[in-house]
Each structure stands twice: as structure tokens, then as C-alpha cells.
Amino acid sequence: MEDLLDDFVAETRETLEAIAGEIVAWEAVPADRTRLDSIFRFVHTVKGSCGFLDLPRIEKLSHAAEDALAAVRAGLRVPDERLVSAVLAAIDRIAELVDAVEAGEEIAAENDADLILALSEPAAPAAKEEGPAAVAEARPAARASARSIRLPVELLDRMMSGVSDMVLARNELFRRLQEVAPGDGVEAAFERLSACVVEMREAITRTRMQRIDHLFTALPRLVRDVSAELGKTVTLEIEGGDVELDREMIEMIRDPLTHIVRNAIDHGIEAAAERIAAGKPAKGLLRVSARQSGNQILIEVIDDGRGIDGERLVEKALRLGVLTPDAAVGLTPAARAALIFKPGLSTADTVSAISGRGVGMDVVRANVERIGGVVDLDNRPGLGLRITLRVPLTLTIIPALTVDAGGHRFAIPRSAIEEIVRARSSTIRIEEVGGSVVARSRGRRLPVADLATIMGEAAPALIGQTLVVLKPAGSGIFALAVDSVHDHEELVVKPAAPAVMATGLYAGTTLPDNGRPMLLLDPAGLARAGGLSDGGEIVAEEPAAPAEAEATTPTFLFRDVDGALRGLRLSLVQRIEEVQATALTMAAGRLRLVKDGGSVPVVVCGTLPQASAFQVLRIGDGTSEVAYVIQSVVDIVPVGNAVAPAAHPGLIAGVVMVGDEPVELIDPFWLFAEAGEAFGRAAESPLCLLRGGDEDWMREILQPLLLQSGYRVAFASEAGAEEADLVIEGEGSTGAPPVARTPVVKLRNRPEGDRGSIYRYDRASLLSALNARPGR
Amino acid sequence: MNSLYLIARLAGQQVAIAAGDIQSVVEIEGLTPVPRAPRHVAGLAALRSRVLTVIDSYAALDLCARPVTAVTQAIVVVIEGHLYGLLVDDVEDVVELAGEVEPIRGSMADGWHRAARGMIDNRGHAVLVLDAGALVDGPAALAA
């Protein structure tokens, strides 16, 4: 039925747009039979559909218009001006009603009778001229006739999944290309294809977008009904209806938003008398706004009511046993207000029909988190409450973290991850309490579930593992023990087969770049499988650890290639990625990472280990980027700002204590200054001096190779050997005096000859001599 | 009524699956296991850029463990929007069979019984017609 109605609305609207011109033309020449016929067909069709769809008002109107037009067609009536405006008014009204049907609104019916009367025989001369006129005014501005077509949603879904497939196919192609090392032309073509795919994906994502207006149009009615029922007066302000988001997403936030708006009127906005007593205007204000911020949509619901009474919530939580008295003492005002997210808590003392059954905010939060969103509260007691929903633009692409456990690799949705801690770090203590494992970390006691055990694999000892602290929707916080943590990735997630979903552990499947399908874990399901669904409460053990008062900076800890534990301010880390060893190349005496069409300088502390792939940190200062090769990711921890400075300026800024382990902090200033040379400032490139031999050959044939390798080139006539970083001598050089500390490469013209020189067309030896330049 | 069937070999039997249900036949490499999934879910495999849920037909039919073969062939079917690969020992042919699917006379092991639609005559041999959906549902379907 819903579908039929939607079809009817869309079809009627389309025909209305199409006959708009006919109507105007008919108005000019009422005797025009073809125009008359098409208008007649329109009202006739509308009448037919309305009877079937049970839309009595539109049916009556179209019926009356049809009768009048039929009389004209039969030559029984003359299409005078009065009749024409009556028909036009009726059609305008039909358009209005159709809009109302779509929005699920009601339009006052009192004018319909006038319109129908106006359509009737001229025997009723009392027809009110202002009736139609008033209606014409009331009609919203004519819908812009955008070039548009109607498409079934399944087709869009199919296109979307097709494009997702394309992205994956492109990734696979990229992988294969890397294996076979194709020629330049292929890479350029691939880049072009990549760009097209990305553009295509964006365009198709946009086709699935809907204006959030679709959600907001229902609000005026909702606010009217709820406030009328409660005897309150509320002004609703809506902003940002033109913000677009995925239509699936719109459906997912419809209920949470309705809940929040109801709550705001019911619990937030006070009765008029109370408002006046508090010095506020009698009419409450409710603002609903939407805006886009990066990859997220922010929906704010702001009321100027009484805000959340934290004290009362705490009292109630104590009474219901949701909170222990000890825990209550340490709660910040924000934490008190956040108690509204606890199941069973509601600030209303009396249960009303609107809300207040305690099934509000916990469900709201669970629903929003299920789609990767977040609910924020900004509570101003006595002044009002702001609730912000942050939701991702689309459901299909999920940022995730990949982890290993029990020999399997899984993805965990990033939205559920609170933090990652190393099980062995001193900030955490693992204890066994009555057979269950508990981790104590910074004043919290977290139940621990072992992923390998949940998956039915033999669990390795907890020691040495990483704990991923998860806060799944609808269940308590817990720590998931995994063997290791890998990259952050944006994954295209698809639903898994029913037999796989039935395990309750997985949220879907994905095909990452490596071409091996991976399962996306469902954190709430893991909690259930780990037997933590109820026990997993945050236990505020020590109200507020005094250590937390100390200023700290989130710091990224990693094991460097030389085995040392080092840290870097988290804000500088752009991402962690795995790169193939083949992507690291020497150029101009510096290691560079060549990936995705660009290259960034690589910093290695010590020597690059032998391996086929490396983990690198991408570090950015806003304008330039450096890749830092690491052995493994350890943890992200808040680290105090008390740094014992290093004795000499260098890669290490100083040492901080993380727990009782010293961690060397990387000096980002030094890092960028050092790597900065490779950012392309020509004057800083090393200088290669060419002397002797065949100067034309050197200029025309050798020089391009040198420039390509990142050298500047000078000839003996232009610079002295002392300034050069490298000297290349042609055969038959007059034996200029050797220069201390400047390496000299001798070339010979024939393949066979003196071991101390390089054949001038032996590219490999030449390149390795260029790259072996000592110094940096 | 003529219908197209794919003739495959499974646990020493010739079986037929209606070709209309079948997308393609592929060789499976690199299975990602699905811990805690029912026994007949062999794992996940990539089919071009899509994820294929691979069904161990031996387990689905409650047979002995699947013999390890050099090449693992799977019949790709789409059921309720999901892509499945049914593991078989060998794919022999696609044939057009004229006869009707006849009910099976005589007794069969439970697993076979559950997945069989009936018998059809393939040039003088009676071939068991398997229901791809029943294989995908696996032994659990019996309990449901």
C-alpha cells in the first residue's frame, strides 16, 4: 500500500509538471480542445487512483473537476473565465494535497467545498472569488522543474554494489600489477582508471543520497501533536534540510530523532508558568539542525528547557541499583547527565503517554551506535539541552581495524573501539577473579574476552597480547584480547550469508586489498559469546585517578626496527599501512616510498631489515609527509608531558616513562627538518661533478640519468671537486688530483677492462654507485 | 518438458542440479575459514570482487569427510541474494534432459534424502537431482 501511494504521488507530480504548460495555454484559449482533453485525462486518472487508494478529498476534487470538464467537452458548458480559474484552483489544491500525502500531513479541509462549488454549474453565482485566489497563494513556490527521472531504488542499490565491486576489482588489479612490474604506460592507464572509479563511486553514492528534509518534514506535525497533548507551546526551528545523506541512513535515524524531539518537549521544555517564573519566554524553543562535517552528518536538537537534572538522575540510579554509592561520588556533571543513557532511567517522575517509560535514550543510543554513529550531550541545567547525533554519510563503507587472533584475521568496526592497550604494559593489570579474567586500567575494571577462545581456537597466554577495548552498542565495555593489531582500513562491507550471520559473531564480510575475504566482527555479539553481556559494566574503582590530572598527550607507541620502544604524538600519525618492499626505492641516496602515484621520503632508524613487506607510519605536518618504517604497533596511551630531553638534537627528542618503561619520543621537528631535504628543494640535491672523457656524451647521455637519480650536475669547468658529493670521471681523464672524502666513479668505454672502473653503459652498476653515496 | 541440468560427481554419485540456479563453475583457492560457523560452511572465498560462501557438500549431506583433491571445484549459485559455492568432486557436463523429476523409490541416507528433489533419467542412468538450497541450508535445516 505504501508503495502504491508513493507511486501515485510520484506519477501525479510528474503529470502535474507536464500539464502545467497545458493549463496555462488552456487559460489563454479556453476553447482549445486538445489542451482540454489532456487536462481532463489528468483529473480522470487522479480520480481513478484516489478511489483505489482511499484519498477521499482528492477524489472529490478531481471528480468535481472531471464533471465540469466533461460538461465542457460535451458542449453543455462554455469554458468561461470563472470555470477556468475554478479548474486551476482545483488542480492547485490537488497538487497541495499530493504533497501533503507524501509528507503525511493534513491540510485544512474547509476550502474544498468552496472549490467544488466553484466548479459546479453557474447556477450558484455566489461563488467566492477569493477562495481560489487564497488557495493559489497558499501553494508553495512552484517546484523547480529540474531535469530528473524516477528510478527504482533497487537499481540504485545494484549500481552501488557494482561500483563497490569495481573498487575491489581495481584493488585486485593494482595488486597484480605490482607483482608483474608493468611498463610505464600501464601504470598511467591504471591511474586513470582508478581516478574514474573513485569519481564514479562518489557520483553513485550521491544518487543514494536524500535530503534530510525527508526526515524533518515530519517534525512540525510531531511537535504540534506532542506539545498540544502536553499543553505546552513550542516554536520549532528547522535548519539545514538540504543536507544530504544516504537514504538508508535517513531511515535508521528516523526513530532516534523522533524519540529525542519527544523527550525534549516532554522532559526538557517546561510548562508556560514554570518558564515565566524562570524568566524565560512562555513559548519554548526547539531547534533541529543538520550540517555536514567531513565524513559525518551532525544533527543537533537544542531545546531551551530545564536541561537534565543530574542530581535527580543519580538519586534514581541509586534507587534502582544501577549505580553504586561509591561510584556516584566520583561522577562529573557530564557523567551524571549521561546516566540518561542507562536502561531504565528517565527523569520524568510521572509516566506520560509521550515518553517517560524509560525506554528512551538507551534505545536511541543503541540505534545510533549500530550505524556507526555517536550521541553527544551538552547539558546546561536550567538553560537547556543540546543533543548531537553524529552519523556517517553512508553505511556501506566502514572504517575498521584489522586484528589477528588464533591464526585468523578479522576486522573490527572502528566506531566500537575505545582504545588499544598492550596487555603487558604497566598501565594495565590482568587479574583472574573467580575464573574470569579482568583487566585493570586507569581506574577501570574491564572484563576480558579472548578472541581466539571465542573463535574456538586454543588461546595463547594472555601475556604479550594486545587488548582492544570495545564499547559495543547495547552492551557494556570490555577488552578483547587479540594476538596483534594491524592497519586501519576503510572496508566495503557486505552482509554475510545467513549461516554465517547465525553465529552471532559477525557483522558482515569484506574483501580487502589482499584479495582474501575477511569477516567483520560484531562487538556486541563477541560480548555475548564471551559471556560478558551483563557483567560488562564500567566500574569506577577509584573515582578519578590523580595521575589523570597531569596534562597528557595521546601518544602512539611502536616497536622500532632496531627493537627500541619509541613513541610519537598521535596527532602526527596520519595512518599506518603495510607496504611491499618493492615500493621502497633508493633515489638520490635517500630511501623513498613510491605509492599511489606519489613518493614520500622514508625514515628508518638504523638499517632497513630484510623483509618482503614493512609497516610504515605516515607522518604529516600538514604540508609534507614522511614515512617511518616500524616493526610493530604497540599501543596508544596518554603520556605525560614531562620529557627528559635528549643530550643531543636528533631523531629522539627525549625519554618519557610509560608506566615503568622508558619510551623514546621521536622529535617531529628533527624528522621533518631531516627528511625535508628530500621534499624537492633543488638547491639541496647532491651535486655530481663530471670531468674528463667525452663531454658531449656526458652531457647528452649521462646527465639525464643523473638528474633522474636526484643529482644536480656540474662540469669540471663550472665547479670544483671540493663542492661535489660525487665525482664521475670519463675514460682518459687527465688524472686530476683525488679529493679527500669525495668518492670518484671512473667510467670506461668498453665492457671489458679495468676492475676499478665501470663500463659506461652498465646501468645497474652505475645506479648502485649513485645510490651508494655516503653521507646521508 | 526439457530442462538443462549440470551433471556433477559428488561422493561417487552422479548428481544433477538445475542449471537455472547456477551462475558459473569455479575453482576455489584460498579459503578463509569462518570460526564457529556450521560445519557445512567450508569458508569464504573471493569470486572476482565478491565474497563467496563455500559450502562443503559432504558435510551438508552428512557424509564422510571430504576427500582432499588437487583442484577444488565449486558450483556457484545465488540464493536469496547471497553467493554460494557448492563444493563437488568434479563437474562433468551440462545436459538437456527430457524426463520428469520422479520421486525416489527406496530408502536413502538422511543427508541425501533431505537434499534430493528426486531422480531424473540421463541417457538410461538414473541421476539424483539435488536442491542447491537444501545443500546451502545444511544439516541444520532438519532441526528447523
Give the CATH number for residue A276.
Answer: 3.30.565.10
Contact B53 A499 (CB under 8 A): yes
Kindly tell me if the per-residue pLDDT of B38 is higher than 80: yes
- In A548-604, which residue ranges form alpha helices assigned H by DSSP? none
Q: Give the closest of B36, B44, B137 to A503, CB-based.
A: B36
A350: in domain: yes
A180: in domain: yes
The rounded distance, in Å, linking the Cα atoms of A239 and A244 is 13
- The verdict on A504 and A362 lying in the same domain is no
Contact B32 A168 (CB under 8 A): no
Residue A683: per-residue pLDDT: 42
- The verdict on A709 and A672 lying in the same domain is no
**Which residues, 6 or more positions from A63, have their beta carbon under 8 angstroms from its beta carbon?**
A47
Residues spanned by the domain of A160: 156-208
A543: in domain: no
Mutation pick from B39, B44, B136, B137 vs chain A, by most beta carbons of A within 10 Å, is: B44
Residue B75: per-residue pLDDT: 94
Residue A301: per-residue pLDDT: 94
Contact A167 B140 (CB under 8 A): no
A411: in domain: yes
Q: Mean pLDDT, to the nearest integer, of B111-137?
A: 87
A633: in domain: yes
- The verdict on A235 and A384 lying in the same domain is yes
Cell digits for A431?
587479574
Contact A517 B32 (CB under 8 A): yes
Contact B46 A408 (CB under 8 A): no
Residues of B within an 8 Å Cβ radius of A: 30, 32-38, 40-41, 44-46, 48-53, 80, 82, 84, 136-138, 140
- The verdict on A659 and A690 lying in the same domain is no
- The verdict on A672 and A689 lying in the same domain is no
Contact A498 B35 (CB under 8 A): no
Contact A516 B32 (CB under 8 A): yes
pLDDT, mean of each 10-residue run, chain A (776 residues): 73 74 72 78 78 77 83 78 79 82 70 77 46 39 56 80 79 80 80 87 79 85 85 89 82 86 88 89 91 80 89 84 78 81 61 48 78 82 89 73 89 84 75 75 80 79 71 74 82 82 86 83 84 48 38 80 84 79 74 74 80 82 81 78 72 77 82 64 64 78 76 74 76 63 79 79 80 53
- Which residue from A509, A762, B27 is spatially nearest to A745, judged by alpha carbons? A762
- The verdict on A449 and A477 lying in the same domain is yes
Contact B37 A510 (CB under 8 A): no
In sequence order, what DSSP letters do the residues of A435-466 get, joined into one string?
A: TEEEEEETTEEEEEEEHHHHTTSPPPPSTT-E
Q: Which residues in chain A are closer than 8 Å to B45, comparing Cβ atoms?
A: 517
Residue A758: per-residue pLDDT: 83
Q: Which residues in chain A are closer than 8 Å to B40, comparing Cβ atoms?
A: 499
Residues of A within an 8 Å Cβ radius of B: 164-169, 172, 406, 408, 454-457, 494-500, 502-503, 505-506, 509-511, 515-519, 529
Minimal-distance CA residue of chain B relative to A457? B35
Residue A133: per-residue pLDDT: 37
Nearest-neighbour CA in chain A from B106: distance (Å): 31
Q: Give the closest of A166, A495, A500 to B37, CB-based.
A: A500
- The verdict on A360 and A233 lying in the same domain is yes
- The verdict on A497 and A640 lying in the same domain is no
Please say which residue of A392, A422, A440 terminates a domain: A392
The rounded distance, in Å, linking the Cα atoms of A689 and A723 is 9
Give the CATH number for residue A51.
Answer: 1.20.120.160
Q: Give the closest of B49, B52, B82 to A165, CB-based.
A: B49
Angle between helices A56-73 and A110-119 (to 10 degrees): 10
Q: Which of A605-609, B54-58, B131-135 has the lowest mean pLDDT?
A: A605-609
Query: Dmax of chain B from CA atoms?
Result: 44
3-class DSSP string for B12-76: CEEEEEEHHHEEEEEEECCCECCCCCCCCEEEEEEECCEEEEEECHHHHCCCCCCCCCCCEEEEE
Residue A132: per-residue pLDDT: 40
The rounded distance, in Å, linking the Cα atoms of A571 and A158 is 39
Give the CATH number for residue A497.
Answer: 2.40.50.180
- Residue-range domains of chain B with CATH: 3-138 (2.40.50.180)
Minimal-distance CA residue of chain A relative to B84? A497
- The verdict on A8 and A100 lying in the same domain is yes
Contact B33 A500 (CB under 8 A): no
CB of B122 within 8 A of CB of B14? yes
ipTM at complex level: 0.90
Cα dihedral B60→B66→B70→B71 (10° resolution): -10
Kindly tell me if the per-residue pLDDT of B44 is higher than 90: yes
- The verdict on A485 and A341 lying in the same domain is no
Please say which residue of A208, A241, A270 terminates a domain: A208
Per cent of chain B over pLDDT 90 is 28
Contact A164 B48 (CB under 8 A): no
- The verdict on A309 and A352 lying in the same domain is yes
Cα dihedral A400→A405→A409→A415 (10° resolution): -10
- The verdict on A449 and A407 lying in the same domain is yes
Q: Which residues in chain A are closer than 8 Å to B52, comparing Cβ atoms?
A: 517
A146: in domain: no
Q: Give the closest of A167, A506, A511 to B46, CB-based.
A: A511
The rounded distance, in Å, linking the Cα atoms of A495 and A507 is 7
Please say which residue of A679, A712, A730 terminates a domain: A679
Residue type, position A373, single letter: G
Contact B41 A500 (CB under 8 A): yes
The rounded distance, in Å, linking the Cα atoms of B128 and B107 is 13
> What is the domain count for chain A?
6
